[in-house]
Amino acid sequence: MSATRVRTLVTVNRVANAVIAVAAALVIANVAWALDIQDITVEWTEAGKKLAADRVAQWQAKDDMVLVPAGEFIMGSDKKTDRLAYRGETPQRHVYLDTFEIGKYEVTALEYLKFVLATDRSPQLDWRYDGGNFQEPMAHHPIMHVSWYDADAYCTWAGKRLPTEAEWEKAARGVDGRLFPWGKEYAGPTRANFGRTGLSGPVRDRPERLLLYPPIISVDKYENAVSPYGLYQTIGNVAEWVADWYDQDYYKTAPDRNPKGPETGTQKAFRGGGWMDSTTTMRVAMRNGTDPNTKINWMGFRCARSVEASNVNRQSSTEREHGEGVARLPE
């Protein structure tokens, strides 16, 4: 698809074009790799909206959910066993959670596109470019440039919700306190998409794109790095918004049963680290927070859903009858 053709799909205001120009200069100078675009708006053209609707109808979404059974798990970090642990991750403790479901994958651009069309929202800024999320392989990249409010609205629209910090961490690490989804061995390029600052993928030929379309990959990659419950890419690719307000010292007073974070705050928590992060942030206990209005190219999300006890009992009965079961932790 030509650049001329793509520019008919969405229109970008003058502020956006100015920011893109500045971003290009920064990239060429190797100065900056992340850009908060919360003040930039784009609008659909009729041609762009029709193309988007056609592709939503044709392409298969990756919206599987996995069941995480009720029970305790080890949450947080212990400096005796994790030399990279920091204040916000301590003290380590046992936490009980009710049964819940959570996305097997990060929410993709294709899934978010369905939401945008259904709710008459503006398209994402990175959808402006040829080679953007409208190519089929990139439709399964994680959505990015979404605020916490965008993520919350999507999950609500989908009949789900954002996971709590505790739910996210249990789903990512299992019950045994491991440092990474796969165990205790440190992350490397064969297990997670991180530490990326070079030009690759859809930005190779136009470096100014890096700030809008960074080197992210499909949400179903790294089968050797799934969590004990089968979640993909809980670390790397994009960091993930969660439901809680963020407080660095919350663990010191948090309840040990279904914690949901502080009642108020100024920052929302996010987990998992992104494509540009270092090894120190590629741990499942790592936690951080930022302004919930932030829209940036290394932040996405996945959704969760509460499960009533009666539904769990019915599902368990059906699984026994058919010899099936949910993902189990290794002994």
Q: What is the mean pLDDT of residues 308-327?
A: 51
Angle between helices 46-58 and 109-118 (to 10 degrees): 120
Do 55 and 61 form a contact (C-beta atoms < 8 A)? no
Identify which of 297, 296, 202, 218 has the alpha carbon closest to the alpha carbon of residue 3: 202
| Averaged pLDDT, 238-260 | 97
Q: How confident is the model over 76-102, as pLDDT tens digits? A: 999 998 888 889 999 999 999 999 999
Which tokens in the block code for residue 273?
């680290």
Q: Could you tell me which of 270, 228, 230 has the C-alpha nearest to residue 64?
A: 230
Report the predicted TM-score, pTM, of the whole model to 2 decimal places. 0.81
Which token pair is 289?
Answer: 């927070």
Q: Report residue 37 as tokens.
A: 């675009």
Question: Could you read off the pLDDT of 29-63 as tens digits, one per residue?
Answer: 333 345 555 555 667 777 778 888 888 888 888 88
Question: What number does CATH give the domain 3-322?
Answer: 3.90.1580.10
If you count DSSP H runs as helices and E runs as strands, how many of each does the chain have, helices first? 8, 11
